[in-house]
Homo-oligomer: A and B are copies of this chain.
Amino acid sequence: MSNSKQVFRSGIYKDYFAQGIKTGNTLHLAGQVGIDTEGNIPESIADQTKLAYDNIQQVLSEFNATMENIVDETIFVTDMSDTMKNVENVFSVRAQAYGAIPEVSQTLVQVVALVSPKLKIEIKCIAHL
């Protein structure tokens, strides 16, 4: 029997999975994407990255956590060459989200597709609280 789970649900998937779940000192976040609260998906990967980090910060705030708590990122993109062409913008948006040099390990891979065809980036984070 599991216990002491702290769960945050939100949005259209709330009956299927949690956006964040804390057990012990570890917070697992669902992969976050560049969709705003009205369901809009901007075209550029930098704008999607900005929204994805906004969504990550919203989940963190539900657990009284901040970007400083993130320890690991797995980043799934759908076009590595487009990602690299825009890497300065993408990493600039990320640097602003972190507000400092990120103390986080990272893995970046190109997959075939994310849940919606318009999505170009999904960021899966683990945080330590």
Quick one: which of B5, B65, B106, B113 contacts A80, CB cutoff 8 A?
B113
* A1-46, CB < 8 A from B: 1-2, 5, 7, 13, 15-21, 23-26, 28-31
CA–CA, A16 to B87, complex, Å? 11
Are the CB atoms of B31 and A108 closer together than 8 Å?
A: yes
- Select from chain B the residue with minimum beta-carbon distance to A83: B115
Most buried by B among A65, A73, A108: A108
Copies in the complex: 3
Cβ B106 vs Cβ A30 within 8 A = yes
Closest residue on chain B to residue A67 by CB atoms: B2
Which of B1, B73, B128 contacts A5 (CB under 8 A)? B128
Cross-chain contact B101 with A15 (CB below 8 angstroms): yes
State whether B104 touches A124 (Cβ < 8 A). Answer: no
